[in-house]
């Protein structure tokens, strides 16, 4: 069987930072994100009864080392669920810069979850696909879902993402540096838990932020949604800055974009900044204001590559699942 799936990255408004269970990828707290309509990943999975190992191709090149091992470990989970021992050929193409904190692993594992479960003949509903994607990369649980998504903390059965209603928001992604990060989010999360004295405060305050965010979204209160988004992101970066040794993903250019966004607010635009495990900054704004935010940033940070994103679709099969020829 062969199946092809497509998924888009998501950017969290309330961040996931820290695992309660590394093997099952259970988060310390719930989180909330916006799945985007840009930078999709398309992944095909084809079963090969004659292959003696999985063959993994990423961006047209054979994957080796950790990247290939993560895909095989993920396929092992799918094979256990399907009661199969057949290996697969996986081919995946990203359109976002890989590893630069633009959530390419979220889109990648969401697409792989949908394609692999279909190829192995599993019939999984949304929550089950989200739980599966979570095992590949925590944030991938949220890319199964379109638009705004909450990923619940909890045990293996209950920790999945589902849609949340809210206002029509989008993001301007300011790519400042597309090189892969030097410290993985996995390693940085562990260091934050083990050595940052702020970590317990992060967990408590993020649970409060998430509850408040749900209220603000339900009320369509964009100012409160934005303020929570920006302060939660800066608090996450503060937690890791307090680790030993300190971890810092934000560059001077990232901080400059945060300052510019604050100036845009003073000038009357509802724009709010956030950043993941990398120097690039995502600016949250009502969909109707995205062009104005992009134009303002373009004149102030000409070196940044700016991409406008609206709420995007959840991960899905593209084309028919078919018997391999």
CA dist 264 to 69, 169, 242, 273, 304, Å? 44, 17, 29, 11, 17
In the bound state with ligand PMV, the residue whose beta carbon lies nearer, of 86 and 255, is 255
**If binding is defined by CB under 6 A, does position 254 make contact with ligand PMV?**
no
CB of 275 to ligand PMV, least distance (A): 8
Token readout for 212 is 């408040």
**If binding is defined by CB under 6 A, does position 41 make contact with ligand PMV?**
no
CB of 294 to ligand PMV, least distance (A): 22
In the bound state with ligand PMV, the residue whose beta carbon lies nearer, of 120 and 151, is 151
Region from 10-18, 49-57, 68-76, 303-311 binding ligand PMV, contact rule CB under 6 A: 10-18
The SS3 call for residue 66 is helix
For 315, phi then psi, to 5°, come to -65, 140
Total binding residues toward ligand PMV, as defined by CB under 6 A? 14
**If binding is defined by CB under 6 A, does position 12 make contact with ligand PMV?**
yes
CB of 171 to ligand PMV, least distance (A): 13
Choose which of 276, 282, 314, 315 interacts with ligand PMV (CB under 6 A).
276
Token readout for 53 is 């190992």
In the bound state with ligand PMV, the residue whose beta carbon lies nearer, of 119 and 169, is 169
How far is Cα 148 from Cα 69, in angstroms, rounded to an integer? Answer: 31
Site string for ligand PMV, 90-109 (x = CB under 6 A): ---------------xx---
- Which pairs count as long-range contacts for 291-300, CB under 8 Å and 24+ apart, including other chains? 293/172, 293/264, 293/269, 294/172, 296/260, 296/264, 296/269, 297/172, 297/174, 297/257, 297/260, 300/260
Residue 244's contacts (CB-CB under 8 Å, 6 or more residues apart) are: 191, 195, 196
Q: Which of residues 174-213 bind ligand PMV (CB under 6 A)?
A: 185-186
How far is Cα 192 from Cα 197, in angstroms, rounded to an integer? Answer: 8
In the bound state with ligand PMV, the residue whose beta carbon lies nearer, of 138 and 279, is 138
In the bound state with ligand PMV, the residue whose beta carbon lies nearer, of 47 and 166, is 166
Choose which of 34, 90, 203, 277 interacts with ligand PMV (CB under 6 A).
277
- Helix (H) / strand (E) containing 229: helix 222-241
CA dist 62 to 71, 74, 92, 178, 221, Å? 12, 17, 10, 21, 47
Token readout for 184 is 């993985």
CB of 89 to ligand PMV, least distance (A): 25
Using a 10 angstrom Cβ sphere, with 0-12 exposed, 13-18 middle and 19 or more buried, the burial of residue 82 is middle
CB of 212 to ligand PMV, least distance (A): 17
- Helix (H) / strand (E) containing 316: strand 316-317
Q: Which of residues 109-168 bind ligand PMV (CB under 6 A)?
A: 137-139
Site string for ligand PMV, 13-32 (x = CB under 6 A): --xxx-------------x-
**Which residues lie near ligand PMV (CB under 6 A)?**
12, 15-17, 31, 105-106, 137-139, 185-186, 276-277
């Amino acid at each position: 069987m062969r199946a092809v799936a497509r998924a888009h990255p998501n950017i969290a408004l309330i961040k996931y930072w820290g695992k309660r269970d590394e093997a099952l990828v259970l988060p310390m707290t719930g989180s909330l994100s916006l799945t985007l309509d840009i930078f999709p990943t398309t992944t095909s999975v084809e079963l090969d009864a004659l292959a003696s190992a999985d063959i993994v191709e990423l961006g047209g090149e054979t994957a080796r080392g950790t990247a290939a091992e993560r895909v095989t470990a993920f396929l092992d989970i799918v094979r256990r669920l399907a009661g199969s021992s057949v290996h697969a050929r996986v081919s995946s193409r990203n359109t976002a810069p890989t590893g630069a904190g633009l959530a390419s692993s979220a889109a990648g594992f969401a697409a792989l979850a949908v394609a692999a479960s279909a190829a192995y003949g599993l019939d999984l509903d949304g929550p089950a696909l989200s739980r599966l994607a979570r095992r590949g990369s925590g944030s991938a649980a949220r890319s199964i879902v379109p638009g705004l998504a909450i990923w619940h903390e909890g045990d293996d059965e209950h920790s999945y993402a589902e849609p949340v209603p809210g206002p029509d928001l989008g993001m301007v992604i300011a790519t400042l540096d597309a090189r892969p990060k030097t410290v993985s989010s996995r390693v940085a999360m562990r260091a934050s838990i083990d050595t940052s004295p702020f970590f317990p405060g992060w967990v408590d305050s993020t649970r409060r932020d998430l509850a408040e965010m749900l209220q603000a979204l339900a009320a369509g209160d964009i100012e409160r949604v934005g303020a929570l988004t920006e302060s939660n992101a800066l608090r996450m970066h503060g937690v890791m800055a307090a680790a030993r040794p300190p971890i810092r993903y934000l560059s001077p250019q990232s901080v400059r974009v945060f300052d510019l966004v604050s100036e845009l607010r003073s000038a009357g635009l509802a724009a709010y900044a956030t950043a993941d495990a990398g120097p690039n900054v995502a600016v949250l704004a009502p969909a109707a204001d995205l062009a104005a935010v992009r134009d303002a940033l373009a004149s102030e940070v000409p070196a940044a590559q700016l991409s406008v994103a609206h709420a995007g679709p959840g991960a899905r099969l593209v084309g028919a699942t078919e018997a391999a020829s």
